[in-house]
């Protein structure tokens, strides 16, 4: 193992030895029990000169606060790694990931806990507030069954705060880099993963955005990584189409968060955006800017069914200016930065009301025209929210094959397979 940043942090490599609190303390790894919001937690800061380290270098590590094994099933321990990455403007930056260690790793040996399967799970936190970062919110109570279920299969789970310290939702370049560097960090962390570990990505909706961008950027940015696969559902290939579609519908709250998040690393564009907000009336700047301090669910309730373009003095036209459009061009359209090099499973509801299925069809066609290996399932039933549940079991089965080495015997390893399926295990009540 090579640590470019060893000058910053030398003492955290534990290898396969037993991980105890005292062994962590003796190695300088901090252990605290109270989860604190990132905006108030001094741990979420970078050491001096971090810019000189290579992307993926671990800069800080600690046991994740909050006694995670007591709240997340099938988990033996969880660690926070703060690592170097590269932001949407290709400047040195950093992010935090949580590495969840399974109770019984696949391929555990009698001498230790060497695991051979790692799932990078990109959770869609969809917020412009850094305090919605999953490294904090999951310790503070947010949960879904995917994580304990994945741990129960013996997989290690990487769970990155891919929006970074400025909560740059949904800036594709930022998010893709942060995912790739989180995987570099966990693979080198010494918490039980071996050089022969197989790894795959999984993400739905906002989690598919960061996963897809990671896959597109991988060949150029992290050429040494060799993913076994990627499962992406409810994909969102074109941010403009999604923004236009959701204004006025159930998901309208994603629009203030998305506009504030995607401009978070571009001060001039953020200043322009804010300057175009109305200051009085029902649709005013104060209400719009609340999006900076709330999570996805709160925003969903606050802005539901509102025409978000009403907040702007010039309406939608205020966003159709080069200062904003250039950011969308760089960070908002999939299919232009690279081609996924790994087997990919795409699942999407034909009636998805957050991103039109035509955008997904076009993205898959684009990848397939240059020999990507994709299984694309279009579900005839269900909404965007339904498909998250309807696709869950299919994604798990597919991921099992790429992570246990049986993919080639169960799926076509070349070209694309496109299917219409009808899987309605769940119909959400919150239909638009």
Ligand X SMILES: *[C@@H]1O[C@H](CO)[C@@H](O)[C@H](O)[C@H]1NC(C)=O
Show which residues are catalytic. Answer: 205, 352, 384
Minimum distance, C-beta of residue 2 to ligand X, in the bound complex (Å): 17
Distances (CA, A) of 271 to 174, 192, 260, 266: 20, 45, 10, 9
Of the residues 406, 408, 413, 430, which one makes contact with ligand X according to CB under 6 A: 406
Q: Is 304 in the site for ligand X (CB under 6 A)?
A: no
Tell me how far apart the alpha carbons of residues 168 and 174 are, in angstroms, rounded to a whole number.
Answer: 7
Q: Does residue 6 interact with ligand X by CB under 6 A?
A: no
Q: Say which residues have a Cβ less than 8 Å from residue 422's Cβ, sequence separation at least 6.
A: 379, 380, 381
The pattern of x and - marking residues 107 through 146 that bind ligand X according to CB under 6 A reads: x------x-x------------------------------
Our CB check for ligand X shows the closer of 8 and 262 to be 262
Residue nearest to ligand X (CB): 152
Residue 281 contacts ligand X per CB under 6 A: yes
**410-429 mask for ligand X (x: CB under 6 A)?**
--------xxx---xxxx--
State in angstroms the smallest separation of the CB of 63 from ligand X: 20
Check: CB of residue 101 under 8 Å from CB of residue 76.
yes
Peptide bond into 170 cis (omega under 30): yes
Angle at 422 between CA 421 and CA 425, to 5 degrees: 130
We find the least distance from the C-beta atom of residue 349 to ligand X, in angstroms, to be: 11
Strand order across the beta sheet in which 58-63 lies: 30-31, 58-63, 75-86, 92-102, 156-160, 115-122, 193-204, 229-233, 344-349, 374-379, 416-421
Contact indicator for 178, 199 with CB cutoff of 8 Å: no
355 counts as binding ligand X under rule CB under 6 A = no
Among 39, 67, 284, 310, binds ligand X (CB under 6 A): 284
Q: Identify the residue among 318, 404, 411, 432 touching ligand X (CB under 6 A).
A: 404
389 binds ligand X (CB under 6 A): no
Query: Closest CB to ligand X among 11 and 406?
Result: 406
CB-neighbour burial class of residue 375 (10 A; exposed 0-12, middle 13-18, buried 19+) = buried
Please, are residues 172 and 258 in contact by the beta-carbon 8 Å criterion?
Answer: no
Which residues of the chain form contacts with ligand X (CB under 6 A)? 73-74, 107, 114, 116, 148-149, 152-153, 194, 196, 226, 238, 240-241, 280-282, 284, 286-287, 333, 381, 397, 400-401, 404, 406, 418-420, 424-427
């Amino acid at each position: 193992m090579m640590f470019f940043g060893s000058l910053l942090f030398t003492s955290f490599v534990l290898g396969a030895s037993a991980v105890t609190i005292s062994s962590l303390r003796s190695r300088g790894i901090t252990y605290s029990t109270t989860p604190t919001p990132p905006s108030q937690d001094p741990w979420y800061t970078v050491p001096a000169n971090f810019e000189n380290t290579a992307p993926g270098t671990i800069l800080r590590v600690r046991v994740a606060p909050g006694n995670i094994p007591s709240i997340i099933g099938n988990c033996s321990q969880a660690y926070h790694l703060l690592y170097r990455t590269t932001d949407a403007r290709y400047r040195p930056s950093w992010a935090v990931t949580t590495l969840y260690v399974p109770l019984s790793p696949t391929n555990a040996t009698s001498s230790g806990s060497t695991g051979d399967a790692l799932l990078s799970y990109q959770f869609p936190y969809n917020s412009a507030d850094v305090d919605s970062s999953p490294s904090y919110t999951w310790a503070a109570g947010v949960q879904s069954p995917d994580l304990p279920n994945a741990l129960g299969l013996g997989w290690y789970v990487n769970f990155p705060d891919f929006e970074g310290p400025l909560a740059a939702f949904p800036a594709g370049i930022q998010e893709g880099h942060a995912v790739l560097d989180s995987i570099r960090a966990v693979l080198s962390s010494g918490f039980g993963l071996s050089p022969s570990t197989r790894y795959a990505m999984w993400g739905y909706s906002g989690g598919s955005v960061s996963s897809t961008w990671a896959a597109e950027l991988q060949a150029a940015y992290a050429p040494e990584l060799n993913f076994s696969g990627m499962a992406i559902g409810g994909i969102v290939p074109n941010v403009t189409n999604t923004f236009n579609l959701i204004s006025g519908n159930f998901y309208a709250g994603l629009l203030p968060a998305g506009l504030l998040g995607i401009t978070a690393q571009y001060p001039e564009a953020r200043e322009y955006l804010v300057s175009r907000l109305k200051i009085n009336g029902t649709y005013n700047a104060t209400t719009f800017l609340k999006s900076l301090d709330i999570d996805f669910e709160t925003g969903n309730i606050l802005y539901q069914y509102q025409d978000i373009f009403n907040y702007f003095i010039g309406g939608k036209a205020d966003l159709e200016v080069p200062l904003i459009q250039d950011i969308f061009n760089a960070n908002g359209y999939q299919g232009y930065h690279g081609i996924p090099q790994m087997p990919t499973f795409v699942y999407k509801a034909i009636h998805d009301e957050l991103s039109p299925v035509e955008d997904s069809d076009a993205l898959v066609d684009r990848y397939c025209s240059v020999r990507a290996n994709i299984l694309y399932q279009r579900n005839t039933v269900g909404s965007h929210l339904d498909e998250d549940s309807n696709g869950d079991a299919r994604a798990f089965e597919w991921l099992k094959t790429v992570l246990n080495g049986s993919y080639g015997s169960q799926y076509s390893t070349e070209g694309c397979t496109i299917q219409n399926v009808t899987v309605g295990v769940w119909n959400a009540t919150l239909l638009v």
